[in-house]
Amino acid sequence: MDLPVVQAKNVVKSANLSWIDNLFQGSIPDGVTPSTEQTTMVITEYVNEPFYYANGMFKSWQIGVEVQIFYVLKAKLNFQDSEIALAELFVMNGWRIDQSKSRVKDPVSKQWTKVFYFVKNIKGGI
């Protein structure tokens, strides 16, 4: 089974979202300098653990990813519509929205940023 970040990255890639210029898993690679002229998404793992216990044994396994979006500085897209479409994409692929943080403006780059936390159970019935 693919790691959570790989699963999430595949979900995003499958949708061919035209507003995402760069998509990274884990972190932005060394040697890559993010540009304020592009929208960058970084997917990292934030939970990978047994979930729901009964009779002294876990009954499912929960995985989760953090999805960080760094919007192009002079964005010509509707943030709200793009974020709803992204959330719907994850939900349609078996994920749940665990958290959706408010958009904040990066004090250095002046880019708007958004963070989602998506989770799903990948194994159950033990």
Range of the domain at 21: 4-124
Range picked from 25-34, 51-60, 98-107 for highest mean pLDDT: 98-107
3-state secondary structure of 14: helix
3-state secondary structure (DSSP) of residue 10: helix
Please say if the pLDDT value at position 86 is more than 60.
yes
Look up the CATH number of the domain holding residue 62. Answer: 3.30.2000.20
CA distances from 21 to 16, 18, 57 (A): 10, 7, 43
Note the pLDDT tens digit of each residue in 91-116: 999 999 999 999 999 999 999 999 99
Where residue 125 falls among pLDDT bands split at 50, 70, 90?
low
Query: Could you tell me the pTM of the whole model?
Result: 0.92
Total structural domains in the chain? 1
- What average pLDDT does this structure show over 27-37? 91
Q: CB–CB of 73/113 below 8 Å?
A: no
Specify the 3-state DSSP secondary structure of 79.
helix
